[in-house]
Amino acid sequence: MKQKWVAAVLTAILLLTAACGSAASNNAPAVSNEPTGKSFTVGILPAEGAIPIILAHELGYLKEEGAELSIKAFASPNDRNVAVQAGELDATIGDIMTEAAFKQNGIEMVITSDISEDFKILSSPGSGITSIDGLADKKVSLVPNFLLEYIMDHFADQSGYSYSIVEIPSFSGRAEALLSDQIDGVVFTEPQASMLVQQGAHLLAGSREAGIKGGTLQFTEKMVKERPGDIAAFYRAYNRAVDYMNVTDASEYVDILTNYQFPEQIGHYLAGLKNSFQHAAPISEEQVNSIVDWSVSKGMLKQPFTYEELTNFTFLP
């Protein structure tokens, strides 16, 4: 009799627990695939990859898609990283190794697409260096542990030489050092690279031509889990901005870009790229793994993260 009573009590407890669990589940807020209308903040740098984001915001495409965006511009990757660590950004332009380093340090970011980018390797006007091999054992300025170093290592490894890194964090500082022949070479993103060539620097190589794609757009895991509709709306607006750039003369929107730390000469560079801007797209597993492995070899990562741990491209149209 006692055993039957105990069994009955246990059964009642299990049923009550299941009911409570079901009620808790039913009361949990559902995640909507529609935009929330709440503002979120994206961090950018004054580089080609930021332009569709800026135009999507300034031309009203984001609002038309139901998303509210705030843009925060930074002068250097290090400044942007500080903002990410402080929780000031919901998304940012970055690169694969940075996102993996964030994750290693407990900052959950997710790569959601590539960005439009082309990093160029330049030599100083008075260096006499006109080929990539000429940078063997020379002083090259870049920001260590970012995509810039990966790209430079790619070309150096191909030719079998080493080089010395001169760390100058700011865009303007690196440009001044190059043009005044204080350094032999530099890795610069566009559009600044083309402007430096116009001022006498020598173009040696480029990431786009080499098929290197490591720049990314990253959203926080919280945004990915709780506001998927806002991310999807962001990418619809982003692609509309790309379509606009492909059919519009740069002179019509260059004034918008100068408000975000872009130089006025940006229009000349963009004029040569009309009809070549691409929609946001995934990054291949091979490319992600290559950069992660490089980051491990540099001691930036203790162990490699998988493609699935780092990426989520389901928000792309």
The string of pLDDT tens digits covering residues 68-125 is 999 999 988 889 999 999 999 999 999 999 999 999 999 999 999 999 999 999 999 9
CA distances from 307 to 93, 95, 111, 144, 214 (A): 18, 14, 10, 23, 13
The pair of structure tokens assigned to 172 is 């303007």
Strand, coil or helix: 155: helix
If asked whether residues 126 and 110 sit together in one domain, one would say: no
The pLDDT-based confidence of 243 (bands split at 50, 70, 90) is very high
Q: Give per-residue pLDDT as tens, 144-200.
A: 988 999 999 999 999 999 999 999 978 889 999 999 999 999 999 888 898 899 999
CA distance linking residue 74 with residue 79, whole number of Å: 6
If asked whether residues 113 and 125 sit together in one domain, one would say: no
Q: Is the pLDDT of residue 26 over 80?
A: no
If asked whether residues 100 and 234 sit together in one domain, one would say: yes
Which residue(s) pair with 15 in the sheet?
none
The pair of structure tokens assigned to 84 is 């990410």
Q: Is residue 166 in some structural domain?
A: yes
Mind giving me the DSSP string for 178-206? HHTTSSSEEEEETTHHHHHHHTTPEEEEE
If asked whether residues 133 and 53 sit together in one domain, one would say: no
If asked whether residues 220 and 283 sit together in one domain, one would say: yes
As to burial, measured by CB atoms within 10 angstroms (0-12 exposed, 13-18 middle, 19+ buried), residue 75 is middle
CA distance linking residue 34 with residue 201, whole number of Å: 48
185-189 sheet: strands from edge to edge: 164-166, 139-141, 185-189, 119-123, 202-206
Residues 273, 193 contacting (CB under 8 angstroms):
no
If asked whether residues 52 and 180 sit together in one domain, one would say: no
Task: Determine how many CB atoms are found less than 10 A away from the CB of residue 24.
Answer: 9
Strand, coil or helix: 204: strand
pTM score: 0.85
Query: Which domain range does residue 81 map to?
Result: 39-117+213-310
Q: What is the pLDDT of residue 275?
A: 65
309: which residues sit within 8 A by CB, 6+ positions away?
Answer: 103
Q: What is the pLDDT of residue 1?
A: 44
Planar angle of CA 199, 202, 206, nearest 5 degrees: 115
Q: Is residue 28 in some structural domain?
A: no
CA distance linking residue 83 with residue 159, whole number of Å: 37
Nearest 10 degrees: CA dihedral of 285, 290, 292, 296? Answer: 150
Residue 285's nearest CA partner among 302, 301, 300, 306 is: 306
Residue at which a domain ends, from 210, 242, 262: 210
Torsion-angle region of 275 (φ positive above 0: left; ψ -120 to 50: alpha; else: beta): left
CATH number at residue 151: 3.40.190.10
Residues 282, 317 contacting (CB under 8 angstroms):
no
Q: What is the pLDDT of residue 271?
A: 83
Q: Is residue 34 in some structural domain?
A: no
In the chain, how many domains are there? 2
Q: Is residue 5 in some structural domain?
A: no
Give, as one character, the DSSP assignment of residue 253. T
Q: Is residue 22 in some structural domain?
A: no
Handedness of CA 218, 222, 223, 228 (dihedral sign): positive
Q: Is residue 17 in some structural domain?
A: no
